[in-house]
C-alpha cells in the first residue's frame, strides 16, 4: 500500500543537489521533503512552534554537525538526525557522538558510500519518530485526565480506600497534632481499634504507656523532616491474654491538598520476626556463654600447675557460676554413706567431711540415673516431699553421678535455696555431664598414678633385680637391685639389648628355647648364668614374663631374678661332700668285705698256681703233649681273667669321682652286687637269692652309687643274720615295676629286725648298733636315692626279719 506524502516531514540542510534530487525521487511518495535554506531557517521553524520535522538530514556542507545536532535536540530531543559524511569522517563522528552526553540516541552518521540505503534509513527514522510521538501523546492525554481527577474525588477516595483496605499492611494518616485522620482495615486490626473510636484520637493513645513517648518522638520526626524515616518497632501488650506483639511502623511525611501537613504511617505486624530475632539472639548469647564456660573449664582442666584438689574446687566454682547456684558439692558414696569430698557453701551441713545417709540427699535419685537429675522449683513439685527438702529447703538442684573405672564414685551437684527462674537447658545438662566425666577421669588417673607410684616404689625397693625390656629386648627400666647385682648403672644399660649380660656358659640353643617360651606368651623360669660388669659370673634364678596390652599383644618383657650363686656353690659343695662321703662309705664297705674278697681272689690265684704247677710238672717229665700244656695255660688265662674281673669291680667301686647319670638296667646292677657279695655269702653260709621282674624298666642313675646302696643294704642284712642259725640265713634281692613309671628294689632278710626304739634313728648319721659299725651306711644310701629322685625306707620290720626298699624313677617318668 502506498504511503501518503504527509506521513512524515524530512528537513534537509546543506544537502548537495544531486542527493536532494535522488531523495525526492525515492521518497516523495511517502514523505514531505522540505529543504531548509540555512540552519537559521531550521531553528526558526522550531521556535515558531510549527509542526517539527520527523527527521533532519544534515548534508556534507554543514560544519560541526554534532554541535548543530545538539542544538536541534535542545528544541526537541526526540527528532532523529542523520549526518551525511565521507566514510573516513564517519567513524570519527561516531566516536564523538559516543562522548556527547547531551545528545539523544537518535543521531546517526551516514557514510556517502552507503547512499543507496539512505532513503530506507530515512523512512525508518521517520517511522520511529512517529511511533514515539504517538506514545508521548497517549501519556500526556492520560496526564490531562489525571489532572481532572480531583473533580471526581469522592469516587477516587472510595476506590483508594477499598484498595488500601485490602492491602496486607496497615496504613494510617495523622495530622500535625498526631491525631488519626484515616486508617485502613489492617491498621484497625493491628491496633485493635474500631474506626469510630480511633478517628480524631491521638495516635499515641493506642499504644501502651511505655511506648507513648517513643511514638511521640517518631511522629515528631516524621513531621519535622520531609524525608521518609526509618521503621521502628513498638511493643504492644494484648489486654486479655497479656501476650506481647510487635509492630513495625514506618513514618513518612505527608502534605495534603489543602496545604496542611501531616504524616502517613505504615504498620506491619512483625511479632514472629521479632520473636525469631529474640530467640536467635538468646541462642547466640547462650552459645557465647557456653563457649566461655567451656573455655574456662578447659583452662582449669589443662592447668598443670594446679593440684587435682585445686582443679576440682575451681570446677565447683565454675559450676556455681554456670548454673547460677550458690552451693556445689562433690560427694563420694560408700555403700549408703554420702561423704562430702569438696564443696562450696557456708552452710555447716554442706562442709567438707560431712557424711549422711544417701537417702537424706537429693543425690539418692542421681546415683541411679545415667543422665543428670534436675529441678527448678522443688516446692512446686513432688520433690517437696523429699527428706532433703524438708531439712534444707533447697529449691533448685542439678546433679549427676560420677563414675570411676565404670564403677560408682559419687555425685557432682549444685543447688540453690532459691527457685530458678528459667529451666535448665540441654546445654546445662551437657556441661554437667562433661564435668562429671572429667572428674571421673581425673580421679581414675590419680588412682592409677597412686597405684603406679606404689608399684614403682615397690620395684625400686625390691630385693630382686627387675628389668623391663621392649619387644626387641631393649632395656627400658632396671631397678637398683639390678644395678647392685650386675654392677651396671641404669644409664649405661637403658636402651641396650640384653646380650651384654651373657656369660658364654649357655649355648645359642639355650637362648632360643628361652625366647620361644616368652615370645609365645609363656613365662620362663630357670637359672641363668650371667656376667657382671667386672667380668665375674653369677647364677640368677630368673623369671621372665611377657607384658601384654589390652588386645593381648606382647609389648614388653619383665624379668625378675635373684642371685643364687652362693646357693649353687653350696649345692656344688654339698654334692662334692656327698660324693666324698659315698666314697668313704664304699671304702668302708670294701673294708668290711676284705675277708670275703680275699677268699674270692684266692680261688683264681690258687687255681692259677695249681694249673701252672701242673704244666711245669708235665714239662719236667718230658712226657707231655702240647694239648695238655695248652689246656693248662688256657685255664691259667681264664682264672687270671676271673681275678682281673674281681679287681676291675673293686676298682670301679672304689673309684672316686663325679656322679655319672646314665640309662641303667637295674638287673645288671643287681647281678654285679650279687657277684660282689657271693663269696662272703658263701663264707657266712647265707643263702642269697635274686628275683628280678621281666621287662624291668630302665632308670636314669649312676650305677656305682646304686650298687653302693644295694651293697649297703645287703651287707646290713648279712650282719643281721649273724645271730641266725647257719643254714637258715636267707637274703633276697627283689626288683620290679612300681606304680606306673617307677622301679622298686627290696632287700629282705630273715634276721631279728631292728628293735622298735631305734627304728626312728636308723637313718641318722653315725647311728649304729654294731661294735665296729660306722653308722653311715643307711644315711648315705638315703642321700643317694634322694638325689636320684627316689625314696628309701624301711618297709617292714619284725623279729623275723627286715625289709628295706628303695624306688627310682624310670626313664619314662623322667621324660614326663
Ligand atoms: P652300720 O651298719 O655301720 O651300723 P648303718 O647305717 O648301715 O650303719 O645301719 C645302722 C643300723 O641300722 C645298724 O647298726 C643296725 O642296727 C640297723 N640295721 C640296718 N639294717 C638292718 C637289718 N637288715 N636288720 C636289722 N637291723 C638293721
How much is the pLDDT for 151?
Answer: 46
Residue 813 near residue 741, CB atoms below 8 Å: yes
Over range 427-435, report the average pLDDT: 91
Sequence-separated (6 or more) residues with CB below 8 Å from residue 336: 357, 358, 359
**Residue having the nearest C-alpha atom to atom 12 of ligand 1:** 762
Residue to mutate (ligand 1; options 721, 768, 796; most atoms within 8 A of CB): 768
Segment 281-309 shows an average pLDDT of 88
CA of 786 to the centre of ligand 1 (A): 19
Provide the pLDDT for residue 283: 82
Q: How confident is the model at residue 536 (pLDDT cuts 50, 70, 90)?
A: very high
The CA distance from 721 to 684, in Å, is 9
Among protein residues, the one whose CA lies closest to atom 19 of ligand 1: 716
Residue 790 C-alpha to ligand 1 middle, in angstroms? 20
Mean pLDDT over 543-565 rounds to 93
Span 417-421, average pLDDT: 93
CA of 393 to the centre of ligand 1 (A): 95
The pLDDT value recorded for residue 656 is 72
| 736 closest CA partner among 691, 771, 768, 775 | 691
Q: Is the pLDDT of residue 384 over 90?
A: yes
Protein residue closest via CA to atom 13 of ligand 1: 768
pLDDT of residue 515: 92
Which residues lie closer than 8 Å to 804 by C-beta, 6 or more apart?
713, 716, 746, 747, 792, 793, 794, 795
Distance 778 CA to ligand 1 centre (A): 7
pLDDT of residue 769: 92
The arithmetic mean of pLDDT across residues 129-148, rounded, is 65
State yes or no: pLDDT of 6 exceeds 70. no
Q: Give the residue-averaged pLDDT of 264-273.
A: 88
pLDDT of 752 over the 90 cut: yes
Poorest-pLDDT segment among 309-313, 583-587, 673-677:
583-587
Whole-number average pLDDT of the chain: 87
Q: What is the pLDDT of residues 773-783, one digit of tens each?
A: 888 889 889 98
- Report yes or no: 654 and 586 within 8 Å, Cβ to Cβ: yes
Give the chain's radius of gyration (CA, Å).
66
Q: Which atom of ligand 1 is nearest to the CA of 763?
A: 6
Identify the pLDDT of residue 490: 94
Helix (H, G, I), strand (E, B) or coil at 743: strand
CA gap 164, 184 in Å, rounded: 6
The arithmetic mean of pLDDT across residues 625-647, rounded, is 87
Percent with pLDDT over 70 in the chain: 92
Closest residue by CA, ligand 1 atom 27: 754
Across 237-244, average pLDDT: 85
pLDDT surpassing 50 at residue 1: no
Per-residue pLDDT band for 259 (boundaries 50, 70, 90) equals: low
Q: Cα(100)–Cα(93) distance, rounded to whole angstroms?
A: 11
Mutate to test the pocket of ligand 1, among 716, 720, 773, 799 (most ligand atoms within 8 A of CB): 716
- Name the residue with higher pLDDT: 53 or 491: 491
Report the pLDDT value the prediction gives residue 507, as an integer from 0 to 100. 93
pLDDT of residue 427: 86
**Of 117, 110, 106, 69, whose CA–CA distance to 91 is shortest?**
110
Residue 416 β-bridge partners: 396
Average pLDDT, stretch 401-424?
Answer: 92
- In the reported structure, the alpha carbon of residue 768 is separated from the centroid of ligand 1 by a whole-number distance in angstroms of 6
pLDDT at residue number 145: 54
Ligand 1 center–CA 191 separation, angstroms: 133
* Rounded Cα gap, residues 178 and 215, in angstroms: 9
Which protein residue has the closest C-alpha to ligand 1 atom 24? Answer: 753
* Better-scored residue on pLDDT, 183 or 413: 413
E strand segments, 355-486: 355-357, 373-375, 396-404, 407-416, 465-470, 475-478
Does position 415 have pLDDT exceeding 90, yes or no?
A: yes
Most confident of 27-41, 61-75, 749-763: 749-763
Residues with CB under 6 A from ligand 1: 712, 716-717, 720, 749, 751, 753-754, 762, 767-770, 773-778, 802
Specify the pLDDT at position 465. 95
Q: Determine which residue's CA is closest to atom 1 belonging to ligand 1.
A: 775
Of 585, 750, 778, 805, which is best to mutate to test ligand 1, by the most ligand atoms within 8 angstroms of its C-beta?
Answer: 778
pLDDT recorded at residue 64: 85
Most confident option among 479-488, 623-632, 805-814: 479-488
Instruction: Give every strand in the sheet of 32-36, ordered side by side.
Output: 32-36, 9-13, 55-58, 81-85, 107-111
Lowest mean pLDDT among 177-191, 196-210, 444-458, 649-663: 649-663
Nearest CA to ligand 1 atom 8: 775
Spatial contact of 322 and 340, defined as CB atoms under 8 Å apart: no
Mean pLDDT of the 584-607 span: 78
Closest to 723 (Cα-Cα) out of 761, 695, 685, 693: 685
Q: Is the Cβ–Cβ distance between 276 and 290 less than 8 Å?
A: no
Given a cut of 60, is residue 149 above it in pLDDT? no
State the Cα–Cα distance between residues 431 and 363, nearest whole angstrom: 18
* pLDDT band per the 50, 70, 90 thresholds, residue 691: very high
CA–centroid distance, 402 to ligand 1, in Å, is 77
Assign 100 a pLDDT band (cuts: 50, 70, 90): low
Confidence category of residue 228, pLDDT binned at 50, 70, 90? low
| pLDDT of residue 265 exceeding 70 | yes
- Pocket probe for ligand 1: among 584, 719, 771, the residue whose CB has the most ligand atoms within 8 Å is 719
Q: What angle do CA 309, 313, 318 make, to 5 degrees?
A: 145
CB atoms under 10 Å from CB of 630, counted, come to 11
Using the predicted structure, report yes or no on whether residue 222 has a pLDDT greater than 90: no
The CA 769 to ligand 1 mean position distance, Å, reads 7
The residue whose C-alpha atom lies closest to atom 20 belonging to ligand 1 is 716
Task: Return the ligand 1 atom nearest residue 749 CA.
Answer: 23
C-alpha cell belonging to residue 544 = 621372665
Structure-block grid coordinates of residue 736: 620290679
Residue 626 has pLDDT above 60, yes or no: yes
Do residues 22 and 10 make contact, with C-beta atoms less than 8 angstroms apart?
no
pLDDT above 70 (res 564): yes
Residue range 278-297: average pLDDT?
86
Render 652-689 in DSSP notation, one character per residue.
Answer: HHH-------EEE-HHHHHHHHHHHHHHHHHHTTEEEE
Strand partners, 793: 805
Cα 648 to ligand 1 centroid, rounded to whole Å? 28
What atom of ligand 1 comes closest to residue 773's alpha carbon?
3
Does the pLDDT of residue 268 top 80, yes or no? yes
697 secondary structure, DSSP code: P
Check pLDDT > 90 for residue 687.
yes
Whether residue 161 has pLDDT greater than 90: no
| 493 CA distance to ligand 1 middle (Å) | 60
Residue nearest to ligand 1 atom 11, measured at CA: 768
Whether residue 146 has pLDDT greater than 60: no
Query: Which atom of ligand 1 is found nearest the CA of 778?
Result: 6
Give the three-class secondary structure for 67: helix
Task: Enter the DSSP assignment of 771.
Answer: S
> Distances from the Cα of 791 to the Cαs of 365, 459, 711, 739, in angstroms?
69, 41, 17, 13
Which range scores top for mean pLDDT: 470-474, 594-598, 809-813? 470-474
Residue 140 confidence (pLDDT) above 60? no
User: What number is the average pLDDT over the span 109-121?
Assistant: 90
The residues, any chain, with a CB within 8 Å of residue 236's CB and separated by 6 or more, are 207, 208, 211, 244, 245, 246, 247
Mutation test of ligand 1: which of 762, 771, 796 has the most ligand atoms closer than 8 Å to its C-beta?
762
pLDDT at 142 over 80: no
Q: What would the pLDDT profile of 478-525 be if each residue is shown by its tens digit?
A: 999 999 999 999 999 999 999 999 999 999 999 999 999 999 999 999
- In which band, very low, low, confident or very high, does the pLDDT at 796 lie, cut at 50, 70 and 90? very high
Instruction: Give 3's pLDDT tier (boundaries 50, 70, 90).
Output: very low
Amino acid at each position: 500500500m502506498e504511503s501518503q506524502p504527509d506521513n512524515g516531514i524530512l528537513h534537509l540542510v546543506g544537502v548537495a543537489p544531486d542527493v536532494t534530487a535522488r531523495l525526492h525521487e525515492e521518497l516523495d511518495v511517502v514523505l514531505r521533503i522540505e529543504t531548509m535554506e540555512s540552519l537559521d531557517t531550521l531553528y526558526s521553524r522550531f521556535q515558531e512552534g510549527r509542526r517539527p520535522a520527523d527527521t533532519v538530514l544534515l548534508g556534507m556542507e554543514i560544519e560541526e554537525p554534532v554541535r548543530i545536532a545538539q542544538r536541534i535536540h535542545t528544541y526537541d530531543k526526540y527528532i532523529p538526525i542523520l549526518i551525511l559524511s565521507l566514510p573516513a569522517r564517519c567513524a570519527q563522528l561516531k566516536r564523538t557522538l559516543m562522548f556527547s552526553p547531551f545528545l539523544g540516541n537518535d543521531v546517526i552518521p551516514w557514510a556517502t558510500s552507503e547512499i543507496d540505503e539512505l532513503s530506507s534509513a530515512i523512512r525508518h527514522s521517520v517511522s520511529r519518530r512517529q511511533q514515539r510521538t504517538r506514545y508521548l501523546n497517549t501519556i500526556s492525554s492520560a496526564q490531562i485526565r489525571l489532572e481532572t481527577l480531583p473533580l471526581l474525588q469522592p469516587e477516587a477516595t472510595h476506590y483508594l480506600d477499598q484498595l488500601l483496605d485490602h492491602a496486607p499492611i496497615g496504613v494510617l494518616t495523622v495530622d500535625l497534632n498526631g491525631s488519626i485522620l484515616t486508617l485502613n482495615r489492617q491498621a484497625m486490626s493491628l491496633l485493635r481499634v474500631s474506626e469510630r473510636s480511633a478517628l480524631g484520637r491521638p495516635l499515641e493513645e493506642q499504644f501502651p504507656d511505655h511506648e507513648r513517648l517513643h511514638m511521640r518522638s517518631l511522629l515528631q520526626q516524621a513531621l519535622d523532616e520531609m524525608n521518609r524515616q526509618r521503621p521502628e518497632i513498638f511493643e504492644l501488650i494484648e489486654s486479655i491474654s497479656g501476650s506481647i506483639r510487635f509492630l513495625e511502623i514506618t513514618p513518612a511525611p505527608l502534605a495534603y491538598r489543602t496545604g496542611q501537613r501531616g504524616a502517613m504511617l505504615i504498620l506491619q505486624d512483625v511479632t514472629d520476626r521479632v520473636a525469631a530475632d529474640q530467640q536467635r539472639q538468646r541462642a547466640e548469647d547462650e552459645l557465647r556463654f557456653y563457649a566461655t564456660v567451656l573455655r574456662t573449664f578447659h583452662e582449669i582442666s589443662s592447668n598443670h600447675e594446679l593440684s587435682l584438689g585445686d582443679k576440682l574446687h575451681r570446677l565447683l566454682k565454675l559450676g556455681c557460676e554456670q548454673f547460677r547456684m550458690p552451693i556445689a558439692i562433690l560427694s563420694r558414696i560408700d555403700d549408703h554413706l554420702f561423704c562430702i569430698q569438696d564443696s562450696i557453701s557456708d552452710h555447716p551441713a554442706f562442709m567438707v567431711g560431712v557424711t549422711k545417709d544417701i537417702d537424706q540427699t537429693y543425690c539418692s535419685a542421681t546415683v541411679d540415673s545415667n543422665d543428670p537429675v534436675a529441678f527448678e522449683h522443688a516446692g512446686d513439685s513432688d520433690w517437696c516431699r523429699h527428706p532433703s527438702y524438708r531439712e534444707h529447703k533447697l529449691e533448685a538442684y542439678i546433679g549427676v553421678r560420677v563414675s570411676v573405672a565404670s564403677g560408682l564414685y559419687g555425685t557432682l551437684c549444685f543447688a540453690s535455696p532459691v527457685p530458678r527462674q528459667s529451666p535448665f537447658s540441654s546445654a546445662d545438662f551437657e556441661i554437667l555431664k562433661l564435668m562429671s566425666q572429667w572428674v571421673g577421669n581425673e580421679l581414675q588417673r590419680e588412682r592409677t598414678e597412686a597405684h603406679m607410684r606404689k608399684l614403682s616404689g615397690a620395684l625400686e625397693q625390691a630385693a630382686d633385680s627387675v628389668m623391663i625390656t621392649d619387644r626387641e629386648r631393649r632395656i627400658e627400666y632396671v631397678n637398683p637391685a639390678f644395678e647392685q647385682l650386675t654392677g651396671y648403672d641404669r644409664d649405661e644399660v637403658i636402651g641396650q639389648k640384653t646380650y651384654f649380660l651373657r656369660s658364654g656358659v649357655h649355648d645359642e640353643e639355650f637362648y632360643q628355647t628361652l625366647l620361644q617360651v616368652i615370645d609365645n606368651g609363656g613365662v620362663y623360669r630357670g637359672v641363668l648364668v650371667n656376667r657382671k660388669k667386672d667380668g665375674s659370673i653369677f647364677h640368677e634364678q630368673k623369671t621372665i614374663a611377657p607384658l601384654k596390652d589390652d588386645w593381648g599383644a606382647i609389648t614388653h618383657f619383665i624379668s625378675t631374678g635373684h642371685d643364687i650363686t652362693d646357693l649353687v656353690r653350696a649345692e656344688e659343695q654339698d654334692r662334692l661332700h656327698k660324693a666324698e662321703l659315698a666314697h668313704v662309705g664304699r671304702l668302708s664297705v670294701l673294708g668290711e668285705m676284705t675277708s670275703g674278697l680275699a677268699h674270692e681272689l684266692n680261688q683264681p690265684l690258687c687255681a692259677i698256681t695249681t694249673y701252672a704247677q701242673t704244666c711245669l710238672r708235665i714239662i719236667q717229665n718230658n712226657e707231655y703233649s702240647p694239648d695238655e700244656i695248652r689246656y693248662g695255660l688256657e685255664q691259667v688265662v681264664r682264672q687270671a681273667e676271673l681275678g682281673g674281673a674281681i679287681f676291675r669291680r673293686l676298682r670301679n667301686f672304689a673309684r672316686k669321682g663325679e656322679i655319672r647319670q646314665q640309662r641303667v638296667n637295674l638287673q645288671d646292677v643287681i647281678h654285679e652286687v650279687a657277684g660282689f657279695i657271693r663269696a662272703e655269702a658263701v663264707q657266712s653260709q647265707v643263702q642269697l637269692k635274686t628275683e628280678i621282674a621281666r621287662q624291668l624298666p630302665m632308670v636314669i642313675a649312676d650305677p656305682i652309687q646304686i650298687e653302693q646302696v644295694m651293697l649297703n643294704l645287703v651287707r646290713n642284712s648279712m650282719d643281721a643274720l649273724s645271730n641266725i642259725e647257719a643254714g637258715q640265713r636267707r637274703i633276697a634281692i627283689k626288683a620290679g615295676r612300681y606304680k606306673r613309671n617307677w622301679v622298686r628294689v627290696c632287700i629282705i632278710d630273715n634276721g631279728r629286725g631292728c628293735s622298735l626304739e631305734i627304728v626312728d634313728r636308723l637313718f641318722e648319721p653315725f647311728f649304729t648298733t654294731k661294735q665296729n659299725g660306722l653308722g653311715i651306711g643307711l644315711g648315705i644310701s638315703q642321700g643317694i636315692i634322694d638325689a636320684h629322685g627316689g625314696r628309701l625306707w624301711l618297709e617292714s620290720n619284725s623279729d623275723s626279719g627286715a625289709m628295706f626298699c628303695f624306688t627310682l624313677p624310670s626313664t619314662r617318668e623322667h621324660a614326663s
